[in-house]
Structure 1
Amino acid sequence: MPLMTVSILYSLAVLFLLWGLYFLLGYRNQKKEWKQKVNTWYPEQKRKSSISVVGDKFDQSETAKPLALKLQSSNIALLPSEYLGVHILGALVLLVLLFNIFKLPLNLVLLLIPGILLASHFLLFYLRKNKYEERFNSQLADICRLLGNGARSGLTINQGIEMVAREVSAPAGEEFKRLANELKLGVPLEVALRSIQQRNKSREFQLFIATILIQKKTGGNLATTLDSMSNTLEDRKVLNQTIKTMTSEQRYISILVPAMPIFIVLMMNNIIEGFTDSLRTVPGMIILVLFLSGIVLSFFLIRKITNIKV
């Protein structure tokens, strides 16, 4: 075969190979784009495990609603089923710690675990009481500033609320998104604000709602009023933060002081065999009750002293 013919055939083979690769890559890109569009139009339903299905059913039940409200009020980003799962995991961890490491009797461990979990439940919600309102109120100064700037630039209150919903993060951002959606559906501003007011009963937010409603009814310079309120709320925020910083040592002491004696008793029981056997006698139980009562009393007294309201 002449050399020229071989060269032409080789060139044509390379050309067809490159042409085929080009069409193959184009087909793959087009297929990927269509797949993304189909997933956008018809999202794929991922299969859930049986545990997730049970958890979803519990979260949607009437039994879980009070717990969900408590978690929201405490600003804890957990679902009721997840919160119960954490408690079950904590019970297993306590069983291993108290029985295998600290060498406590099994019958005493089985009595202590429900008490510890119940105490931790109430203690958690006590320490984080109204955290949702506190975090919401810490954003009110920025909200007033945004609404004031919007009013100064010619925006209506409804448009200013939509701007706050876009710019402010959670939890205030979520509440204002809900407020903006209600206003778009035709709900009157006063009715929509009153519904949020029922979920947040703090003094700062009550003042904010009253200012908005009064300015809407009577007119006046809304931007100046909101700027003044923003400065006031910012000063209160700084003052509250200063008080928290000054009392932080005492608040940590209120947790460490009750925890240290309990930890020492458990460590001594691990070192000295039968150290806690006397607690199962009648005098030992009386001493244990007095000991626990003193720990609880000291905790609440220290927290009461350091709880300074402005």
Structure 2
Amino acid sequence: MDYGQIAAAILAAVSAGGIAYALFYPRLSGQARAEQRRREFAAPAAIRAAADREAQSQARRGQVAQSLKDIENREKARHKVTIEGRIEQAGLSWSRKQYWLLGVVLGIVMAVVLLLTSGNWVVMLVGFVVGLLGLPRWYLSHLGKKRMMRFINEFPNALDVIVRGIKSGLPLNDCLRIIANEAQEPVKSEFRLIVEAQTLGLPLTDAATKLYERMPCAEANFFGIVLAIQQKTGGNLAETLANLSRVIRERRKMRDKIKSVSMEAKASAAIIGSLPPAVAGLVYLTSPGYMDALFYTDAGRIALVGCGVWMLIGVLVMRKMINFQI
């Protein structure tokens, strides 16, 4: 027999054996079954991991939604402001007794002045009610708005101090103490109250939430919401507060821009609203008898009341047109 044929036959047999080994050995040895079992186990594990991540994401969203809902409920409960709350918002240290004493004094003064000028007991009674209930409330509201504007202007600087302190490694409580000692009023006193509330054992989120009760503006509310959400869900507090500071500054820029744009309309409304009483006063000074019919006849009094009502409606409409809420 030729050796070439023998070698070819041997090579053919070896090749056939190698092919058969490659095709049938995994099945015979169980490797294919093991690989299939690994794939079967790996697929449910990936599915379970994806389901766990989705469940964690939903839980995080649920915590955020619950935090916002709790804050909204607290805001609804605080909608009615008491006299003590108004005094605290104005930055005064009055008691309820002092408030009502001031109201009584103002009411008596207004009643006496109107009685001496008009001689009408009804007008005197109206003046007493206005002095008792209206003037003290208006005074507290005026002081509260001025104090709130100072707080809004200084609050972004306080947030920047917190952001820089956190980035440098200081705890949040130490940053709050720095603001309570070195910031401008009224931010200084408000953060001092937050620090004192923490010292007494109140959680930081509750202490920050009470800031909105003393300073009912959107900026203080945002600060409380940020701290409440960060405590429950975690995250980068420095970055969040930096974004809040930027938003507050942009809101102030928008407010100033709207104020400058609407100044012409406000001046026009003031001139239009002051023309009728100014003209009536000048006519009365130059020719007193010319307007006697308006004060001493029934038709004149009805005309005065009607003109006053229409003027009030016009002033309120113009005020609504030129005031913008941000």
TM-score, length of structure 1 as denominator length = 0.62
Q: Does the CA-based 8 Å contact 2:162-2:172 persist in structure 1?
A: yes
Work out which of the residue numbers 177, 181, 203 in structure 1 matches 2:196.
181
Q: Of 180, 203, 207, which aligns to 1:192? A: 207
Match of 2:224 in 1: 209
CA distance in 2, matches of 1:238, 1:186: 38
* Distance (Å, rounded) in 1 between the aligned partners of 2:323 and 2:83: 25
Alignment of 1:299 onto 2:315: yes
Question: What is the 5 A alignment of 1:110-121?
Answer: 110=124
Give the structure 2 partner of residue 141 of structure 1: 156
Higher relative contact order (Cα pairs below 8 Å, separated by 6+ residues):
1
Counterpart-to-counterpart distance in 1, 2:203 and 2:211: 13
What secondary structure is seen at the aligned counterpart in 1 of 2:288? coil
Paired residues of 1:258 and 1:296 also in contact (CA < 8 A): no
Distance 1:246 1:123 in 2: 27
Question: Is the 1:72–1:132 contact (alpha carbons within 8 Å) kept by the matching residues of 2?
Answer: no
Q: Report the residue type matching 2:300 in the other structure.
A: G
Report the alpha carbon displacement of residue 215 of structure 1 after superposing the two structures with TM: 2.6
Matched, 1:223 2:238: yes
1:262 Cα deviation (Å)? Answer: 2.1
Write out per-residue CA displacement over residues 175-203 of structure 1, whole angstroms, 9 at most, x where no aligned residue: 11111111122222122223223344433
The answer as to 2:205 corresponding to 1:172 is no
- For the pair 1:308 / 2:324, whether they are aligned, the reply is yes
Q: Distance in 2 between matches of 1:93 and 1:258?
A: 28
**Are the structure 2 counterparts of residues 237 and 93 from structure 1 closer, same or farther at C-alpha, using a change threshold of 3 Å?**
farther
Which residue matches 1:16? none
CA distance in 2, matches of 1:249, 1:126: 26
Change in Cα spacing, 1:220 to 1:119, as seen in structure 2 (3 Å) is: closer
CA contact (8 A) 2:111 2:127 kept: no
Give the aligned partner of residue 285 of structure 1: 301
Q: Over alpha carbons, which structure has the higher Rg? A: 2
CA distance in 2, matches of 1:248, 1:86: 37
CA shift at 1:278, angstroms?
Answer: 2.9
Superposition deviation, residue 161 in structure 1: 1.0
What count of residue pairs does the alignment treat as equivalent? 239
Does the 8 Å contact 2:110/2:127 carry over to 1?
yes
TM-score by length of 2: 0.59
After superposition, the Cα gap between the structure-2 partners of 1:213 and 1:278, relative to the gap in structure 1 and judged at 3 Å, is closer
Aligned-partner Cα distance in 1 for 2:277–2:264: 21
Question: Is the Cα–Cα contact under 8 Å of residues 145 and 230 in structure 1 kept in the other structure?
Answer: yes
> How large is the Cα RMSD of the aligned pairs?
3.7
CA-to-partner distance for each residue in 1:229-283, whole Å, 9 max, x for gaps?
Answer: 2112111111111111222333344444333422332332233233334323221
Q: Distance in 2 between matches of 1:86 and 1:268?
A: 34
1:1-310 matched pairs, under 5 angstroms: 66-67=82-83, 69-70=85-86, 72-73=88-89, 75=90, 80=99, 84=103, 87=106, 91=110, 106-107=119-120, 110=124, 132-274=147-289, 275-310=291-326
- Where structure 2 has 5 or more consecutive residues not aligned to the other structure, the ranges are 1-80
Alpha-carbon offset, residue 160 of structure 1: 1.1
CA contact 2:194–2:207 (8 Å) conserved in 1: yes
Q: Give SS of 1:276's match.
A: helix
On the 8 A contact 1:162/1:177 being kept in 2, the answer is yes
Percentage of pairs with the same residue: 23
Amino acid at match of 1:172: V
TM-superposed CA distance for 1:228, in Å, is 2.0
